[in-house]
Structure 1
């Protein structure tokens, strides 16, 4: 009896989507350098054209890292690389590098402080022939300064 992997994946995909993709995420082209929002006190990356808005999730990928300058005699760079992952259905478009990912809405009982937070896609969305959801590596857009 041969295993019909395509049929198994077709049955697993709705289950995985229903368990993980509980929130609404927006993927947009970058619209320019960060702009200070006096209402929130944060710098926000302006969004250009919306590429996708729909079911998704954003989760931490690993602990933040601090990068050092290229020249050994220079001080440490005061910027972290905050690694996150965005999960979207396979029907969502592949996010290109530098796509702005924003959490637009959170499910009941979820962390509402994530609404409005932004990340930048580090690389195009990952894909695979046996995937059931699309995964995009993200770096959080830092809110500590106005430097672009």
Structure 2
């Protein structure tokens, strides 16, 4: 299997150079409650534990079926949607557990700076395969709160 391992290593290197060109952060949410900040006069949640910060890529689904709706119990209509995204990180990155927060903190293309600060939640731990070249973790976009009308 040396030939296969060498080929996979070459593909992993190409992906690292050409695809994992943005900077992402994977954070475990803080489990403590909010803490009063005397400087702002507000209760604020503490920062979570950073598991990884480094090269990565977030890609959305390409098919219409990549978005699904989830009804709330007791409501006659669909409340929220689930948006299917994928996080790609090098195999050297730690496995992101379910419900970790993924945030884009740097982009290679200055035209995409609107992505900085955008966040997703991991739906499951990273996927595994016997022939991996990049770590893939399924994500759902964190929905912005609705504005009052």
Task: Provide the residue aligned with 1:12 in structure 2.
Answer: 11
Distance 1:139 1:46 in 2: 22
What is the CA deviation profile of residues 56-113 of structure 1, one whole-angstrom value per residue up to 9, with x for unaligned ones?
Answer: 0101025422212456xx3123211011100000000010000000001000345111
Q: 1:64 aligns with which of 61, 67, 72?
A: 67
Q: Is the 8 A contact 1:47 1:100 kept in 2?
A: no
**112 and 46 in structure 1: CA distance in 2 versus 1, 3 angstrom threshold:** farther
What is the CA deviation profile of residues 33-75 of structure 1, one whole-angstrom value per residue up to 9, with x for unaligned ones?
Answer: 8xxxxxxxxxxx974100000000101025422212456xx31
Q: Is the 8 A contact 1:106 1:115 kept in 2?
A: yes
Q: Which stretch of structure 1 is more off in the superposition, 105-114 or 95-104?
A: 105-114
Q: Is the 8 A contact 1:95 1:124 kept in 2?
A: yes
What is the CA deviation profile of residues 107-130 of structure 1, one whole-angstrom value per residue up to 9, with x for unaligned ones?
Answer: 034511110001000000012121
Instruction: Name structure 2 gaps, 5 residues minimum.
Output: 34-44
Question: TM-score under structure 1 normalisation?
Answer: 0.80
Q: Is the 8 A contact 2:72 2:79 kept in 1?
A: no
Instruction: Name structure 1 gaps, 5 residues minimum.
Output: 34-44
Distance 2:111 2:19 in 1: 12
Aligned length: 133
Task: Provide the residue aligned with 1:25 in structure 2.
Answer: 24
More helix by share: 2
Question: TM-score under structure 2 normalisation?
Answer: 0.79
Task: Provide the residue aligned with 1:135 in structure 2.
Answer: 136
Distance 1:69 1:79 in 2: 8
**46 and 121 in structure 1: CA distance in 2 versus 1, 3 angstrom threshold:** farther
